[in-house]
């Protein structure tokens, strides 16, 4: 029961992010920084409460990759928040969730993976859905 409540809470927090992004008069980069600082502080408090601290020795080998992925996530958030300012919330969110589809299609180039017929079908259907939504809204601005 607690796990379900945690999921509902986290989805409610994420689902309301557009309200904050659109109503807080800060640049997207500053909003992303604030979000990262709040997340880091929350994780630190959680680790202190549960006494499950991550030791530097445990992550030292992976530190460059962790820093690179953190920077990529920061850029991702900045672009996502900026999209809220230039288009509708629905279109920005739909485009944001389209990213895994693009990664799937890029995987043969990046990781020499072979795409299955099912993956290609899903890519075509996802792309068609995105095109239909963009076409229906006419690329409507932030209204």
Q: What is the pLDDT of residue 82?
A: 92
pLDDT digits (tens, 9 = 90+) for 102-113: 888 888 888 888
Most confident residue range from 14-18, 27-31, 90-94 = 27-31
In this predicted structure, the answer to whether residue 140 has a pLDDT above a threshold of 80 is no
- 27 and 74 part of one domain: yes
80 and 105 both lie in a single domain: no
Say whether pLDDT at 135 is over 80: no
Tell me the C-alpha distance between 87 and 89, whole Å. 7
Tokens 């992004």 belong to which residue?
21
Q: pTM to 2 decimals?
A: 0.71
Are 82 and 99 in the same domain? Answer: no
Mean pLDDT of the chain: 86
Q: Give the pLDDT band (50/70/90) at residue 142.
A: very low
Instruction: Give the model's pLDDT for residue 105.
Output: 85
Give the total number of structural domains in the chain: 2
- Tokens describing residue 14: 């994420």
Could you give the residue ranges of the DSSP H alpha helices within 51-116?
A: 56-59, 63-86, 89-96, 99-111
Distance CA 93, CA 111 (A): 27
Structural domain containing residue 138: 88-143
- State whether 39 and 101 are in the same domain: no
Lookup result for tokens 């920061």:
74
Same domain, 92 and 22: no
pLDDT tens-digit readout, 66-87: 999 999 999 999 999 999 888 8
Does one domain contain both 12 and 76? yes
- 74 and 92 assigned to the same domain: no
Mean pLDDT value across residues 43-70: 90
């Amino acid at each position: 029961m607690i796990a379900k409540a945690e999921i509902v809470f986290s989805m409610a927090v994420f689902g309301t992010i557009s309200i904050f992004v659109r109503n807080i008069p800060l640049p997207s980069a500053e909003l992303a920084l604030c979000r990262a600082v709040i997340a880091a502080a929350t994780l630190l408090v959680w680790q202190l409460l549960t006494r499950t601290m991550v030791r530097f020795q445990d992550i030292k080998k992976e530190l460059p990759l962790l820093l690179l992925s953190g920077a990529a996530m920061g850029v991702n958030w900045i672009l996502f928040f900026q999209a809220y300012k230039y288009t509708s919330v629905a279109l920005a969110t739909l485009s944001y969730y389209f990213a895994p589809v693009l990664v799937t299609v890029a995987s043969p180039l990046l990781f020499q993976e072979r795409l299955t017929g099912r993956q290609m079908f899903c890519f075509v259907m996802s792309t068609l859905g995105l095109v239909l939504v963009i076409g229906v809204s006419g690329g409507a601005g932030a209204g």
